[in-house]
Structure 1
Amino acid sequence: MKDGINHRIAARVRELRGRSGLSLEALADACGVSRSMISLVERGESSPTAVVLEKLATGLGVSLATLFEPPAAAAHPVSRRADQVEWRDPASGYLRRNVSPGGYPSPIQIVEVQFPAGARVAYETAARPGTTHQQVWVLQGKIEITLGEDRHELDAGDCLAMVLDRPITYRNPTSRPARYCVVIVAPRPV
């Protein structure tokens, strides 16, 4: 499955870059990821981290969740559990699962995350195309989210609403795993 997801990401990045009319150099300039790394990702020869994927998504003008959808996904309103793709970040070990139907023409995407004890992920990207709204609902455990200078401690049942317009860091300060749901409302690729 790991190789399968890397190839899905590769095909999706190639497709989105082609739709945008961006060369490798132009995408590298737009997102701050080297041309060689983008090439490795597009060939499925890399296990990129969540931070690299977030930079690519921002440069392509899409949400991170969009990179996990199959290329040219047929629009269908039902997302069966067996078809929901899972991906593990090689840097932090967090496991994400796209819950929403891939390719369905909706601005809403739902992602479930299992966040290991002590894990930390920092997305440096501040400026995103359009306005991206996100809500994080903690289902189990505790997490800390820092958006710009604002730090929020969330326990099970808590929900944080935000606009993604500043760098964001997720951290599990405990010795137990956490699980949370992310609901994203963002512009979708055409």
Structure 2
Amino acid sequence: MTTDTIDKKYTQSEPSFDFIGHFVRSYRAAKQESLQALADRSGVSRSMIAQIESAQTTPTIVVLAKLANAMEISLGDLVQPPEQALNIRVSEINTENLVSKKDSPFVCHLLNSQTRHFSNEIYHFHFKTSGKTAFAANVAGSTKHIWLEQGSMLMYIANKRVSIKPQQLTSFNAAIPHRFECISTPLAKGLFYVVY
């Protein structure tokens, strides 16, 4: 095996960090910031940033840390390849994420559920006919945020009746039993977000 072959094999297996240059350039474009302004804030020279953006050099961890700090992002977000960093998920309404009872006038789908520092769930709902939901309560310490896209509905929470109108965000203590009722057209539909 010749030296040329060894060099070629090594070069082919070397990871490409071109995405970091694209990231920095996109960041500056979004902020309408010049190379010099980012250089001044980060302590990284203007020429080094230009070389990173044009993929002419692979920056050291120290340089990357300075840039990340100046851009107010984590070092991990800067160096993680886009296909991993973007973490794009698309959810749609289907029978697999239906969480309401079949005979209920209230149809509800769980679109997303995550647990990190806290747990949260996002639901899409709509009334298929006028009617009401059964009483429900979430776990202690939970908060529910309701965004009504269209229609209007009533919410009964403990002994209080609240009118929810479209294009309003309504938040409340979801650990208290509550139910929804839709009595007018257009029928209510929207999203609710539960934080535990």
- Structure with the greater alpha carbon radius of gyration: 2
Higher relative contact order (CA 8 A, sep 6+): 1
